[in-house]
């Protein structure tokens, strides 16, 4: 069983790494393995619930405007179009979760997979270094971002890092790419919780981890938004490369 200290520790790790483009799932795999902390699908899902709470709070105005556009069936407005783009961008990860769930669960016990995922993330981040765009999200870019989000089910592949990078590669302005990335994660998190609902349980220790991830996650998200605006996302590529190669060489096993 996980104790309160371990729950707080993993909540801090989740809160920091969920937003910074360095893969929360990869770090959870590493720390659960290295510190011999019992892995729990239910606890990991609860930490992601904390992520959902942070997103809904920070982007509450955008979410409300999108909901109003949908209720009014106003799909010609900017908010209505975003609702459509979020839906089609969510299709790849739903299909991946539906058909590849056993393989994905297996990946979460492999430090080797996490190491490879970090290297992939590093490559994505590094090549955002010199790209400058001024476009908004469209159908093509939302599909591209959605496909990359599906690959981020693999530990080590940062969801925020890879999706924001793909948005930038697709011509989307950095701030817009970041906002779309975070809003796109809402259906993904809800979908994951539905698929794993039978494994879901809550106790006092897990609530401590949840609250920790919310507090730390809010601060971490605010920091990432500033980093994206400065165009410094690529600097995290070095961290991902170092961590990825270290995981493969020192900790890898299947």
Going by pLDDT thresholds of 50, 70 and 90, the confidence category of residue 67 is: very high
What phi, psi does 128 have (nearest 5°)? -85, -5
**Encoded tokens for 221:** 């998200």
Q: List strand residue ranges (DSSP E) for 69-216, in order.
A: none
User: Does position 17 have pLDDT exceeding 60, yes or no?
Assistant: yes
User: Does position 83 have pLDDT exceeding 80, yes or no?
Assistant: yes
Centre a 10 Å sphere on the Cβ of residue 128 and count the other Cβ atoms it contains.
25
The per-residue pLDDT of the chain, averaged, comes to: 88
> Tokens 């069936």 appear where?
73
Burial 178-204 (b: 16+ CB within 10 A, else e): bbbbbbbbbbbbeebeeebeeeeeeee
Interval 29-58: pLDDT, tens: 777 777 777 656 677 778 778 888 999 999
User: Does position 244 have pLDDT exceeding 80, yes or no?
Assistant: yes
User: Does position 252 have pLDDT exceeding 60, yes or no?
Assistant: no
Nearest to 130 by CA among 170, 158, 169, 163: 169
SS (H, E, C) 65-111: HHHHHHHCCCCCCHHHHHHHHHHHHHHHHHHHHHHCHHHHHHHCCCH
Interval 139-155: pLDDT, tens: 999 999 999 999 999 98
The angle, 0 to 180 degrees and rounded to 10, between the axes of the packed helices 204-230 and 174-195 is 160
């Amino acid at each position: 069983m996980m104790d309160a200290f371990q729950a707080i520790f993993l909540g801090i790790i989740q809160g920091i790494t969920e937003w910074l483009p360095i893969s929360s799932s990869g770090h959870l795999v590493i720390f659960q393995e290295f510190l011999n902390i019992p892995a729990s699908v239910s606890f990991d899902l609860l930490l992601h619930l904390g992520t959902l709470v942070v997103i809904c709070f920070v982007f509450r105005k955008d979410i409300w405007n999108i909901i109003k556009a949908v209720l009014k069936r106003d799909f010609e407005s900017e908010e209505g179009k975003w609702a459509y783009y979020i839906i089609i961008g969510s299709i790849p990860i739903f299909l991946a979760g539906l058909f590849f769930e056993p393989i994905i669960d297996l990946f979460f016990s492999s430090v080797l997979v996490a190491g490879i995922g970090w290297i992939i993330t590093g490559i994505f981040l590094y090549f955002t270094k010199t790209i400058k765009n001024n476009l908004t999200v469209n159908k093509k870019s939302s599909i591209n971002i959605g496909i990359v989000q599906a690959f981020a089910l693999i530990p080590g592949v940062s969801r925020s890092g890879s999706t924001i990078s793909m948005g930038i590669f697709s011509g989307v302005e950095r701030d817009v790419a970041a906002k779309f990335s975070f809003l796109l994660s809402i259906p993904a998190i809800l979908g994951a919780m539905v698929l794993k609902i039978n494994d879901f349980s809550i106790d006092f220790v897990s609530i401590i981890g949840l609250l920790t991830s919310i507090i730390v996650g809010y601060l971490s998200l605010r920091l990432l938004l500033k980093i994206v605006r400065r165009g410094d996302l690529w600097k995290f590529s070095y961290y991902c490369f170092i961590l990825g190669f270290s995981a493969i060489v020192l900790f890898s096993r299947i």
